């Protein structure tokens, strides 16, 4: 409570020189002084109106930038979600491909282990000399 009273006293002491007396608020008595004060007030009002227009234009500019940023953010969010979906699809596809590779690898390894006997066949064709065309048959047996 004491601090509040001390603060109020200090503020009163600081603000007393800035208070206006009723005499300083009285309008001038002659027409020329009154006209001069009116023109000064009119100029101040014009400057305030110009400043308000500038601030409004600046606020409109910032509002436009904000709206653009908001739309960009929504577009980026949509693109991000789409890329996440594509990533999941790609990961599933890669897993399936890896499973197929593993099965084929196991199949090849098993087929190589089962038997030492193999049969290879093929056709030999030479386009330059077609009469040398033939069938190739090969047998292999491992010890």
Query: What six digits make up the tokens of 41?
Result: 């007030």
Let me know if residue 35 belongs to a domain.
yes
Checking if the pLDDT of 20 tops 60, the result is no
Contact assessment for residue 85 and residue 107, using Cβ atoms and an 8 Å cutoff: no
Residue with tokens 């305030």: 48
Residue 140's SS3 state is: strand
Is pLDDT larger for residue 40 or for residue 19?
Answer: 40
With respect to residue 3, please indicate whether it lies within any of the assigned structural domains: no
Rounded to a whole number, what is the largest CA-CA distance in the chain? Answer: 132
Residue 121 maps to a domain: no
pLDDT 10s digits, 107-137: 888 877 766 667 778 887 777 777 877 877 7
Residue reference for tokens 């234009």: 57
**Is the residue at 8 inside a domain?**
no
Top-confidence residue, 115 or 99: 99
Q: Is residue 137 part of a domain?
A: no
38-95 confidence digits (pLDDT tens): 899 999 999 999 999 999 999 999 999 999 999 999 999 999 999 999 999 999 999 9
Residue 59 in any domain: the answer is yes
* pLDDT of amino acid 113: 74
Q: Is residue 7 part of a domain?
A: no
**pTM across the whole model:** 0.40
3-state secondary structure of 123: strand
Helix and strand counts by DSSP (H, E) for the chain: 2, 2
Domain residue limits at 39: 30-114
The pLDDT of residue 1 is above 80: no
Dist CA 16 CA 8 (whole Å): 12
Query: Rounded to an integer, what is the distance from CA 2 to the centroid of its chain?
Result: 54
Total domain count, the chain: 1
Comparing 27 with 90, which gets the higher pLDDT? Answer: 90
Q: Is position 53 within any domain? A: yes
Tokens of 122: 């093929």
């Amino acid at each position: 409570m004491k601090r509040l009273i001390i603060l109020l006293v200090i503020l009163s002491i600081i603000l007393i020189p800035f208070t206006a007396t009723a005499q300083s608020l009285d309008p001038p008595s002659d027409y020329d002084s009154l006209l001069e004060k009116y023109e000064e007030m009119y100029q101040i009002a014009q400057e305030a109106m110009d400043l308000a227009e500038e601030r409004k234009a600046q606020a409109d500019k910032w509002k436009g930038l904000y709206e653009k940023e908001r739309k960009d953010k929504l577009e980026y969010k949509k693109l991000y979600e789409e890329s996440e979906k594509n990533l999941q699809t790609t990961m599933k596809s890669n897993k399936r491909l890896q499973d197929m590779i593993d099965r084929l690898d196991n199949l090849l390894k098993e087929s190589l282990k089962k038997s030492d006997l193999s049969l290879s066949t093929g056709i030999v064709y030479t386009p330059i000399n077609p009469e040398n065309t033939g069938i190739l048959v090969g047998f292999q047996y491992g010890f």
